Amino acid sequence: MTDRSQLRVAIAQYACTPDLGTNLDTAVTYIEQAGAAGAKLVLLPELHNTPYFCQREDPALFDLAEPIPGPSTERLARAARGSGVVVVASLFERRAAGLYHNTAVVLDSDGTLAGRYRKMHIPDDPEYYEKYYFTPGDLGFTPIDTSIGRLGVLVCWDQWYPEAARLMALAGAELLIYPSAIGWDDATDDNAEQTRQLSAWQGVQRGHAIANSLAVVTSNRVGIEGDNGTEIRFWGHSFVFGPQGETLAEAGENPELLVANVELQRTEQLRRIWPFLRDRRVDAFGDITRRYRD
């Protein structure tokens, strides 16, 4: 277990190329830089091995998937062990023929595979055709135990759902972590709309931090990626929020290694002052499991 008064975390924010080897090299370089900067946790962007391929539906793109454990986890595990850091990576998992997941993997500081989380909420929107590729997760909202604590790892679209963050908190997560790939369509989103979207993305996650008294660590990629006549400009702005929603660190729209210090023991202190978990009316929440209350 780490020193709970000071957990140094790092986010690798970068652009992804069409070459898997180059992308893995970039991830390893950032892991090494994070370790040299004293970080004990490194978060990579969502689906960092490839460009964001979900902009179109193409059965040939299933060839990008790989097993877990597999080549990427082996390479990243060596990097985690070499730098003495916990790595949260994001991979296109091939579970079986015709069965694929958007999966976050956690590699402990000794290189062991501490656990995985399969993305539960799968979007299907223009330029984000994830339902074509990914089966919804079946591992539930279960924190992953590591040498630095219990990590509540979720993935991108999950970050819009307070229920997911709450269930991780109720299961004992000490930190909420979201690898992401989200951006704008410059053809349809004007400056005002882009500002609203970015504010909403950060705002909803600030709410998760506050409502659960947990720090939130969220990555994003950067750069313009186009496919089949469409383009996404990934907006970056990876961030670390403290357990009262305070901004501990925020990136811009360029590649960078973002580093911040998180005080895990503040969760205990805050929950004594603002006992949200104590005052939940669990006896009155039955309708939360309904799709809609007609």
16 is catalytic: no
Nearest-Å Rg of the Cα atoms of the chain is 18
Q: Which residue among the candidates 16, 54, 130, 156 is catalytic per the annotation?
A: 156
Torsion of Cα atoms, 179 then 60 then 223 then 113, to 10°:
30
- Angstrom distances, CA of residue 103 to CA of 46, 90, 134, 250, 255: 9, 6, 9, 25, 23
Q: What is the DSSP string of 162-194?
A: HHHHHHHHHTT-SEEEE----EE-TTT--HHHH
Q: Which residue among the candidates 16, 40, 46, 130 is catalytic per the annotation?
A: 46
290, two tokens:
């309904």
| Angle between helical axes of 71-83 and 20-36 (0-180°, round to 10) | 20
156 is catalytic: yes
Q: Which residue among the candidates 16, 119, 174, 225 is catalytic per the annotation?
A: 119
40 is catalytic: no
Catalytic positions are: 46, 119, 156
